[in-house]
Structure 1
Amino acid sequence: MNGTTGDKGTTESAAGTDGGGVVVVGAGPTGLLLAGDLAAAGVPVTLVEKRAPGISNLSRAMVVHARTLEQLDARGLADALEAKGEPLGRLRLFDRFSLDLARLPSRFPHVLVLPQYEVERVLERRAAEAGVRFAYETEVVGLTQDADGVSIEVRGAEGGPGTLRAAYAVGADGLRSAVREAVGLPFPGRSVIRSLVLADVRLAEPPPTLLTVNAVGDAFAFIAPFADGYHRVIGWNRARDVADSEPLGLDEVKEIVRAALGRDFGMHDPRWMSRFHSDERQAPAYRVGRVFLAGDAAHIHSPAGGQGMNTGLQDAANLSWKLAAAVNGRAPQGVLGGSLDRLLDTYHAERHPVGKTVLRTSGALVRLAMAKHAWTRGARAVLAAVATHVRPVRTKVLGTVTGIGFAYPAPRGAHRLVGRRAPDVALKEGRLYEVLRAGEFVLIAPQGEECGREAGRAVVAHWASARRMWLLVRPDGYVAWAGERRPTTIQFPYN
């Protein structure tokens, strides 16, 4: 039973994992980033995907937020994607509610309008170059685990069975995750919007803005460009609640867009149209023994705010360095008494609350956008004004939508910076996120200070300024430890 690698064009045995590595299921953005990180850290990785090789242009994500761009920058990928996409300095959500992204304290003070398939293409190339073994046209049909590892039963394109053995497995296989079902985790929640329409069309007239979105009465519409002259259209008509399988014609798409945006921009020549529904769901646990969930397999929510793909990529960035430490037996000094198992537990502790917050905020945005009654539309206008003009509220909303504002729990008595996102500070050795490309912890020391054994495996860098603080930054760009005095030994998080 074989699978084919994406870029290399060679055939690898899907049963090639020898039990010491990781099997990642799902070759979407989350799985590709995670697998690439692990392979770059020297971990044997097999990436299982039931689709045939090739990047699909039917994916729904169209924007990359600032925090995701920072994570991609730490892997040397952001600049290439910036060159492919279109930066947008203001993100409009509905009516008068828009976010001024120029206020973001980031190298990327914008949202990048870029189709998901472009992100996947870059991540797939990186994963292949790092040595990930791809097993396409391979479906997970069962999973068991024991004290030493995980056995994943798979079926290939020709129907033949096989078994992959690995130290750990990650389900990044979406809404209908076979991995989540195999470990018996429920996926509680409900459908928020039914019968959304999606179409890729050409337009005779250009829309007024790069991202065009509005809701009027019973209609909602969103338009974003591809680089090839087509535009992605997402729409909803409250009065037309039909099954996803109901046929969809261009006239219906035009009608929805005219109701929400005032005109249909002369849309024509559709290359693809479909209906879908939007769910709000979250798994109660992101870890079951040696099995982890990430991305849409762990949480799924409305498309409002464009946070789906972005949240999944940030899941992967959080999990990858912890799994690499576990597989390589490299528990950083001081981490939970050196316990790799407790280090792995922090993935759920840190990312589950983030997923819950994203689910709630994206749900609130879509409910506000689709407000039906006069009083709810009035409340929407008030909330939009508050979020636009009241600085603390504006900062909170900006941080949540873009991912910049999320922080992880810190131990009692820790420095106030611990658990927070590290900004891309200037160092003598370059920008912080350039130094993070080594995939290790980074210890930032004052100028003139040298570090030896006490730095452990951390990369040592120095402030470009005269600042006297010592700062330890995790591989995922969050502060692990901070202090005004030289550490006698590296104090990693969770002491």
Structure 2
Amino acid sequence: MNGTPRPVLVVGSGPTGLLLAGDLAAAGIPVTLVEKRPHRISNLSRAFVLHARSLEQLDARGLAEELEAVGRPLDRIGLFGRLVMDLDALPSRFNHLLVLPQYEVEQVLERRAVKAGVEFRHETEVTGLAQDADGVTVEVRGPDGERGTLRAAYVVGADGMRSIVRRAIGLPFPGRSVIRSVVLADVRLAQQPETLLTANAVGDAFAFLAPFGDGYHRVIGWHRGRNVPDSEPVELDEIKEIARLALGRDYGMHDARWMSRFHSDERQAPAYRVGRVFLAGDAAHVHSPAGGQGMNTGLQDAANLSWKLAAVLHGHAAPALLDTYQAERHPVGRTVLRSSGAIVRLAMAKRPWTLALRAALTTVLDRVPAARRRVTGQVTGIGYRYPAPRGAHRLTGTRVPDVALAGGRLHEAMRGGRFVLITPRPYEGGAGREDRLAVERWASGRRTTVLVRPDGYVAWAADDADGRAIEAAVAAHVG
């Protein structure tokens, strides 16, 4: 099983691993993706929404329209039964969330990865790894039980909450279980819900309904008084009872094709990088499903890391660039963990002081637009910005929306994983860098020069910059 060394080995073929591997292959980096499961796209997924920032990233890869065609847009989010947060005012081309099961996202990302040339190794399990100054040796067990090794310059563990990669590099996963005995099922409904997403909490019960699009709905339920091990069998009657308590009725649930029980943890690895090994997605952080941020946060991890690995491996950036993955993504993971945990705790509030806190927060969000924008920005992912060096332009580290350019729009210019330099005047320094830099002009009369990273954040900006300053910035960031 010993194979030709590859620059990058990605472990795990969920959305995070697929996006990362596809990005690297599209950038001309040979990459192997190892997955212990057989080759199939599972429809037993827990994720059901793509938020605006993820849709923007997918649009920059030419994939958003395909997913928009199969998903169902939702322009508002309900919280705590009485607060409605409208998304149609989001400063994004995707001013909604898209309801669709995770397997639809995986299918699109897998097709892209295959087309880009990713080498897939299914039914191959990582059993250990060791790294040295030049690379990483990964121990694997293949489909027939044969053991061997794979060699790579870098390894990315996108292998989920029980990550073998994380354990192999000795990282703890501190945190705790916050909700136990959550039940899931795919069911048909005799009566259709009035809304696309249906969720409510009453007393000790919480329930959530979302459509698959194939006649089945995913139902998630939890009852505070039902605390049993994950191995305890699930009966449809239990799920229907929780739905009746939380939603007022069970919508005539029948023909369950799958049922399961799980617990929800809040955990985060203290580091996302140890030497030549990185963690992304659920291998790096897990949290409650409140707000639908799990898959989306993993996709953002992948988008942040992929272009940096490609730049270093192509020799266009120093290895120190890889340190910024930890600096930029770890704080975001921590914020998501805390905010999703707060949502679920407030949704299930029971004690007088927590009920009072929820009422106060609901009032603030309802009456203070700035507070509502901040919460909406966190949930949808468009509100995050990355640290900027001291003295940098105010735009550095901020997300750039899909702005209009003289030659089209930003997301189209970003396709191919390129930096995009947006200038108010002609710039001739792009020659020889066409594979990694697109030079565009503002469609408006804006005077700021902006260098946009391949993940859509500002690498550098200046007001009224001259050609020398622009060239220095391009040389420093693009190479």
Instruction: Tell me the CA shift for residue 454 of structure 1.
Output: 8.8
1:25 corresponds to which of 1, 11, 21 = 11
The CA deviation string for residues 308-348 of structure 1, in whole angstroms up to 9 with x for no partner, is 000000000000000011111111xxxxxxxx221000000
Residue 493 to residue 352, structure 1, CA distance change in 2 (3 Å): farther
SS in 2 for 1:359: helix
Instruction: Tell me the CA shift for residue 493 of structure 1.
Output: 6.1
Asked whether the 8 Å contact 1:93–1:305 carries over to 2, the reply is: no
* Gap runs ≥5 in structure 2: none
1:343 and 2:329 aligned = no
Asked whether the 8 Å contact 1:440–1:475 carries over to 2, the reply is: yes
Q: Distance in 1 between matches of 2:106 and 2:363?
A: 37
Aligned-pair RMSD on alpha carbons?
1.5
Asked whether the 8 Å contact 1:17–1:46 carries over to 2, the reply is: no
2:94 corresponds to which of 85, 96, 108 = 108
Q: Distance in 2 between matches of 1:458 and 1:330?
A: 12
Q: Distance in 2 between matches of 1:315 and 1:109?
A: 22
Instruction: Tell me the CA shift for residue 440 of structure 1.
Output: 1.2
Asked whether the 8 Å contact 1:85–1:113 carries over to 2, the reply is: yes
1:355 corresponds to which of 333, 356, 360 = 333
1:437 corresponds to which of 415, 419, 422 = 415
Instruction: Tell me the CA shift for residue 468 of structure 1.
Output: 1.8
Match of 1:181 in 2: 167
Q: Which amino acid aligns with 2:160?
A: G
Match of 1:478 in 2: 457
Superposed, which structure 2 residues align to 1:284-303 within 5 Å?
Answer: 284-303=270-289
Match of 1:468 in 2: 447
Question: Which piece of structure 1 moves more, 317-326 or 380-389?
Answer: 380-389
1:16 and 2:3 aligned = yes
Q: Distance in 2 between matches of 1:267 and 1:222?
A: 13
Match of 1:44 in 2: 30
Query: How high is the sequence identity, in percent, across the aligned residues?
Result: 71
Match of 1:369 in 2: 347
SS in 1 for 2:415: helix
Match of 1:67 in 2: 53
SS in 1 for 2:271: coil
The CA deviation string for residues 377-412 of structure 1, in whole angstroms up to 9 with x for no partner, is 232122112112211110110110000000000000
1:309 and 2:295 aligned = yes
Match of 1:385 in 2: 363
* Gap runs ≥5 in structure 1: 2-14, 332-339
Q: Distance in 2 between matches of 1:132 and 1:264?
A: 44
The CA deviation string for residues 62-115 of structure 1, in whole angstroms up to 9 with x for no partner, is 000000000000000001000000000001132112321111000000000010
Instruction: Tell me the CA shift for residue 451 of structure 1.
Output: 2.1
Q: Distance in 1 between matches of 2:477 and 2:90?
A: 26
Q: Which amino acid aligns with 2:342?
A: A
Instruction: Tell me the CA shift for residue 452 of structure 1.
Output: 1.9
Match of 2:427 in 1: 450
SS in 2 for 1:134: strand
SS in 2 for 1:438: coil
Asked whether the 8 Å contact 1:454–1:487 carries over to 2, the reply is: no
SS in 2 for 1:461: strand
SS in 2 for 1:102: coil
Match of 1:94 in 2: 80
Q: Distance in 2 between matches of 1:493 and 1:302?
A: 37
- The alignment of Structure 1 onto Structure 2 pairs a total of residues equal to 472
Question: Which piece of structure 1 moves more, 455-464 or 276-285?
Answer: 455-464
Q: Which amino acid aligns with 1:107?
A: R
Match of 1:155 in 2: 141
Residue 477 to residue 17, structure 1, CA distance change in 2 (3 Å): farther
Residue 203 to residue 375, structure 1, CA distance change in 2 (3 Å): same
Residue 71 to residue 177, structure 1, CA distance change in 2 (3 Å): same
Residue 172 to residue 209, structure 1, CA distance change in 2 (3 Å): same
Asked whether the 8 Å contact 1:219–1:238 carries over to 2, the reply is: yes
Match of 1:396 in 2: 374
Question: Which piece of structure 1 moves more, 232-241 or 92-101?
Answer: 92-101
Q: Distance in 2 between matches of 1:302 and 1:167?
A: 34
1:420 corresponds to which of 371, 374, 398 = 398
Question: Which piece of structure 1 moves more, 460-469 or 23-32?
Answer: 460-469
Residue 305 to residue 393, structure 1, CA distance change in 2 (3 Å): same
Q: Distance in 2 between matches of 1:370 and 1:106?
A: 31
Q: Which amino acid aligns with 1:261?
A: L
Instruction: Tell me the CA shift for residue 429 of structure 1.
Output: 1.7
Q: Which amino acid aligns with 1:119?
A: V
Instruction: Tell me the CA shift for residue 455 of structure 1.
Output: 9.1
Question: Which piece of structure 1 moves more, 485-494 or 204-213?
Answer: 485-494
Q: Distance in 2 between matches of 1:285 and 1:146?
A: 19
Match of 1:9 in 2: none
Asked whether the 8 Å contact 1:455–1:490 carries over to 2, the reply is: no
Match of 2:131 in 1: 145
Question: Which piece of structure 1 moves more, 205-214 or 457-466?
Answer: 457-466
Instruction: Tell me the CA shift for residue 202 of structure 1.
Output: 0.3
Superposed, which structure 2 residues align to 1:242-261 within 5 Å?
Answer: 242-261=228-247
1:229 and 2:206 aligned = no
Question: Which piece of structure 1 moves more, 374-383 or 40-49?
Answer: 374-383
Q: Which amino acid aligns with 2:3?
A: G
SS in 2 for 1:167: strand
Asked whether the 8 Å contact 2:75–2:95 carries over to 1, the reply is: yes
- State the TM-score, normalizing by the size of structure 2: 0.96
Asked whether the 8 Å contact 1:63–1:112 carries over to 2, the reply is: yes
The CA deviation string for residues 21-67 of structure 1, in whole angstroms up to 9 with x for no partner, is 10000000000000000000000100000000010000100000000
Q: Which amino acid aligns with 1:264?
A: D
Match of 1:204 in 2: 190
Match of 1:273 in 2: 259
Q: Which 4+ residue blocks in structure 1 deviate beyond 6 angstroms?
A: none
Instruction: Tell me the CA shift for residue 453 of structure 1.
Output: 5.6
Q: Which amino acid aligns with 1:183?
A: I
Asked whether the 8 Å contact 2:15–2:295 carries over to 1, the reply is: yes
Residue 430 to residue 494, structure 1, CA distance change in 2 (3 Å): closer
2:204 corresponds to which of 203, 211, 218 = 218
Q: Distance in 2 between matches of 1:16 and 1:390?
A: 58
Q: Distance in 2 between matches of 1:487 and 1:271?
A: 63
Instruction: Tell me the CA shift for residue 16 of structure 1.
Output: 3.3
Match of 1:239 in 2: 225
Instruction: Tell me the CA shift for residue 494 of structure 1.
Output: 12
Residue 395 to residue 389, structure 1, CA distance change in 2 (3 Å): same
